[in-house]
Structure formats: C-alpha cells, structure tokens
Amino acid sequence: MKQPVQKLKFTTTMWLVPVLLVFTMVVLYWAAQVFKIDLHYYGIYPKRWIALRGIFTSPFIHGSLKHLFNNMVPLFVLTTALFYFYRSVKWRVLLLGTLLTGLATWVIGRPSWHIGASGIIYLLTSFLLFKGIFSKQYQLTALSFAVIFLYGGFIWYVFPVDPKISWEGHLSGFFVGFLFALIFNEKTIQNKKYDWERDDFNPEEDPFISQFDEEGNFIETPKEEPSDDLVEINSSKEKPHVKKVIYTFKKTEHKDEKN
C-alpha cells in the first residue's frame, strides 16, 4: 500500500527512538562492566541456530568503550535523519533492515561472534545515501551529500581490511540499504510547487503573465474607467465649501530718528 506524501516536521518519535536505542546500548555496556557479565554470547555466530537470537540483540552489545562510542554517535544521527525525512518507511527500513542485515551476516560471516550496531549503521548510511540520489528531490539529495561528508569513509570497512572488524556485517548492511533504496520508490516528502507548476494553472487568469503577449513582449494595461455607478455616486456628492482668504500687504514707512 502506497503511503501518503507528508510534509517535513518534527515529531516526538523522531528523537525518542534514537535516544532509546543509544540509552539501551549504554545501560547494557555499563551492566556488563559492573556485574562482570559476558554478553558476547548474545551476538551473531554464523551457522549456529541458537545464535539467530543475536540478530536483534547483537546491535546493543559492545566489546569496549571505544567500540560503543564509535557506534553510538552515528547511530543516533542516522536514525534521527531516517525518522525525519522518511517517516512513511522508517519502521520498515529499521526493523526489516536489521533482520535482513543480521541474517546476511549469519550466512556469510566468519566463525566468530559478531557484535555491535555497525551493521545497522551501514544499513542507514547506504539507504540515506542512495535513496536521496534516486529521489531527485533537493532536500534528500542534500542529505545524501551530508552523509557522504560525515560517513563516506565507512565504505572502506565493507572490505576485510582489519581482522578484528566484522566487515561481513558492514557489507550486509550496506547491501540491504542499497536494496531498500531501490525497492521503496514512493515519494516520502512533499515537493514544493509554484502556481505555474500546478496542473490546474491557467496563464490567462494570472495577473502577471496576462501582461505579456505570446512572444513575451510587455503589453501596457489600459487604465480602467470608473463604472457608471461610481460616477453617479461621486456626482451626487456636494462639492465641499471652500473659503477664500485674501492677504493684503502694506508697506510701512520708517522715519529716521535723530539723537
């Protein structure tokens, strides 16, 4: 079912969901450090059926404070952008995208525990980047350039450049985001149109365009003559009484005074 085109506006969900995601990540990392809990077993381990639970739990688990911070900031920024610019498809991109990214990691990943929210980050980065370019809308295209400027360097980590990094999760998220940008082709925001861009626009009724001929030359608009009713009303009014004031100047003779 095609979603209606909506205007951009700030909503509570736009900032509440990113805050809850980041808050959950921080609380779980704090609890694991304080109570000495090993949460790695809630990650994704490829080809193990029990590890399929990690599809939705692994994004909240991080191995170090640096790992947490590197995922926390971009996840907040990208999720906020998703919920602001793509309100009609935001839940499908976030939830379905997380599911498919996790499944792809489970299929192609190395036999190791894959944890962290980097797969979702690559999902959102890829979707926002390609969807903005495909949409040909200036707001979304500007968002694409912003994503390239902020997180364009992420592209290198979809390749096995570091054995400690789950490049399989990055590649899975990047591919799913690109796929969603192709599939979700409905317009998510309203395009601003001028009056002359509307289908029902009639140039003959436009007061500005009617002043030009077919060749674009300016036509001087004749002054409108007052209507008969207006003339009759004006003629019925009595002329105001005007007082005439006449000033007379007399020259004063000055006699020389002798001392």
The string of pLDDT tens digits covering residues 16-26 is 999 999 999 99
pLDDT of residue 259: 41
pLDDT of residue 1: 44
Share of the chain above pLDDT 90, in %: 54
Q: Would you identify the CATH topology of the domain 12-183?
A: Rhomboid-like fold (1.20.1540)
Q: State pTM to two decimals.
A: 0.72
- Domain ranges within the chain, ordered by starting residue: 12-183
The string of pLDDT tens digits covering residues 102-149 is 999 999 999 999 999 999 999 999 999 999 998 888 888 888 889 888
H-state helical runs in 35-64? 54-57
The string of pLDDT tens digits covering residues 228-258 is 555 554 555 555 555 666 656 566 655 554 4
* Identity of the amino acid at 185: N
Does residue 69 carry a pLDDT above 80?
Answer: yes
The string of pLDDT tens digits covering residues 195-226 is 555 666 666 666 666 666 666 666 765 555 55
Average pLDDT, the chain: 82
Spatial CB neighbours of 32, under 8 Å, sequence gap ≥ 6: 38, 39, 61
User: Two tokens at 184?
Assistant: 């979700």
Does residue 181 carry a pLDDT above 70?
Answer: yes
Q: How many CB atoms lie within 10 A of CB 2?
A: 8
Does residue 151 carry a pLDDT above 80?
Answer: yes
**Do 125 and 147 touch, CB atoms closer than 8 A?**
yes
Our measurement of the distance from residue 165's CA atom to the centroid of its chain's CA atoms, rounded to an integer in Å, reads: 31
The string of pLDDT tens digits covering residues 17-63 is 999 999 999 999 999 999 999 999 999 999 999 999 999 999 999 99
Distances (CA, A) of 168 to 26, 45, 61, 75, 164: 24, 12, 17, 18, 11
- Exposure pattern of 106-119 as b/e (b: 16+ CB <10 Å)? beebeeebbbbbbb
**Do 6 and 189 touch, CB atoms closer than 8 A?**
yes
pLDDT of residue 58: 96
